[in-house]
């Protein structure tokens, strides 16, 4: 009897996912000046003040400002004294992402499952409690000095989590329509992509859903390789980039040099109306990569009919790509701090589940023009 092609019904699909994730809980940035960073993300990106911790709440070592927009929560953290780990991090890396926190039902279980599979612990499960309930947190290390924390919110009714107080301000600029984290990309060193792909497969149970080699992602001058890792339900996607040989220095190498190691390259933020969102962001001072107008000349021949008018896409520099399931619209900011390191992508998906492969060449040529202007190409 042959059952080679029959599905394996012995193990329910849900039981196979040893690390069920509900999505991104928050992204924490270690920065040089958290107060000003929080203001920038409110003013420029449309976040609202949510929570604060610092000396006034019992933390004499650092301040943390939490801002929120729809399902996006960012924390900006700065040390109050030198030689604190947060100060050292900001000194070495500049402003950057320290924590990609993932929402789970069972933070102790997430820690047990991942550390049993070789994940390196950065925080054993701890329960934080106050009058509003409990939050359990645990965590493991990933590439560079970046951490994944697992956050379990047990009917917590406070503004953010124990240790924080509500942060209210008189200045509350409106939302720009940013909704949630679509994906989060890491840059790793030469020949380090596959080891980190292996980490996400083995330690976190992710799958490799897409791969791009240096022929997919190359310009006349530089190249990179990328593999997209996704968790079981697809709520959490982490593409991993590594540099590839080219005539000149690739954007990943520039990042690694200025970040002083591996780290988060960009966070993609979803919107349901990219034209409106990007109009708002530009009006508020967010700078985007410039795409030559020639990109739009044969766009509709390349991607087929789209719902949007071409004129605003062209005026704003929004890119379009299509795959088997639909299309997507995307645009990339310039780096949002002084070093040429982290930036943001704004993305609107209309069926497409891919990452804009058709735009890689135009995009990377735009990045190279910026690199060249910095003298780093």
**Residues at the contact surface with Fe ion, assessed by CB under 5 A:** 268, 345
> Exposed/middle/buried for 329, CB within 10 Å: 0-12, 13-18, 19+?
buried
For helices 360-374 and 251-259, give the axis angle rounded to 10 degrees: 50
> Which of residues 136 and 328 has its CB atom nearest to Fe ion in the complex?
328
Q: How far is the CB of 183 from Fe ion (least distance, A)?
A: 6
Query: Any idea which residue has 């069920």 for tokens?
Result: 20
Concatenated DSSP letters of 75-115: EEEEESSTTSHHHHHHHHH-SEEEEEEEE-S-HHHHHHHHH
Rounded distance, CA 315 to CA 320, Å? 14
Residues 43-59 as b or e (16 or more Cβ within 10 Å = b): ebbbbbbbbbbbeeeee
Q: Which of 303, 328, 331, 304 is nearest to 317 (CA)?
A: 331
Residues 6+ apart with CB under 8 A from 168: 49
> Which of residues 268 and 328 has its CB atom nearest to Fe ion in the complex?
268
> Which of residues 268 and 281 has its CB atom nearest to Fe ion in the complex?
268
Q: Do the beta carbons of residue 346 and residue 269 sit within 8 Å? A: yes
Rounded distance, CA 165 to CA 237, Å? 31
Q: How far is the CB of 340 from Fe ion (least distance, A)?
A: 17
Q: How far is the CB of 166 from Fe ion (least distance, A)?
A: 33
Q: Which of 215, 273, 205, 207 is nearest to 239 (CA)?
A: 207
> Which of residues 268 and 278 has its CB atom nearest to Fe ion in the complex?
268
- Output the six-digit token pair for 80: 């109050």
Q: How far is the CB of 75 from Fe ion (least distance, A)?
A: 22
> Which of residues 161 and 223 has its CB atom nearest to Fe ion in the complex?
223
Query: Any idea which residue has 């897409």 for tokens?
Result: 210
> Which of residues 256 and 347 has its CB atom nearest to Fe ion in the complex?
347
> Which of residues 240 and 299 has its CB atom nearest to Fe ion in the complex?
240
Q: How far is the CB of 360 from Fe ion (least distance, A)?
A: 10
């Amino acid at each position: 009897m042959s059952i080679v092609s029959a599905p394996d019904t012995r193990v329910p699909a849900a039981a196979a996912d040893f690390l069920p994730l509900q999505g991104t809980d928050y992204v924490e940035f270690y920065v040089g000046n958290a107060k000003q960073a929080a203001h920038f993300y409110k003013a420029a990106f449309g976040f609202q003040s949510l929570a604060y911790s610092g000396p006034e709440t019992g933390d004499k070592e650092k301040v943390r400002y939490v801002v929120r927009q729809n399902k996006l929560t960012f924390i900006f953290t700065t040390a109050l004294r030198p030689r604190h780990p947060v100060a050292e991090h900001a000194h070495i890396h500049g402003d950057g992402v320290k924590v990609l926190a993932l929402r789970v039902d069972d933070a102790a279980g997430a820690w047990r499952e991942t550390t049993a599979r070789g994940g390196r612990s950065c925080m054993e499960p701890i329960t934080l409690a106050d009058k509003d309930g409990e939050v359990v947190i645990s965590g493991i290390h990933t590439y560079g000095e970046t951490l994944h924390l697992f956050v379990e919110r047990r009917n917590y009714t406070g503004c953010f989590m124990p240790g924080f107080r509500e942060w209210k301000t008189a200045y509350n600029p409106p939302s720009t329509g940013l909704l949630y984290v679509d994906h989060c990309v890491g840059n790793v060193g030469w020949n380090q992509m596959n080891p980190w792909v292996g980490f996400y497969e083995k330690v976190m149970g992710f799958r490799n859903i897409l791969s791009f080699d240096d022929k997919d992602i190359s310009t006349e001058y530089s190249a990179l390789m990328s593999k997209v890792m996704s968790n079981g339900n697809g709520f959490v996607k982490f593409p991993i980039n590594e540099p590839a040989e080219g005539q000149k220095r690739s954007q990943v190498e520039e990042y690694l040099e200025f970040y002083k190691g591996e780290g988060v390259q960009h966070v993609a933020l979803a919107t349901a109306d990219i034209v409106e969102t990007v109009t708002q962001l530009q009006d508020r001072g967010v700078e985007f990569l410039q795409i030559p107008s020639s990109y739009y000349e044969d766009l509709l021949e390349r991607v087929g009919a789209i719902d949007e008018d071409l004129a605003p896409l062209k005026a704003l520099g929004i890119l379009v790509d299509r795959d088997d399931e639909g299309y997507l619209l995307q645009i990339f900011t310039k780096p949002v701090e002084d070093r040429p390191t982290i930036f943001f992508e704004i993305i609107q998906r209309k069926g497409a589940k891919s990452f804009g492969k058709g735009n890689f060449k135009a995009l990377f040529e735009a990045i190279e023009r910026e690199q060249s202007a910095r003298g780093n190409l």
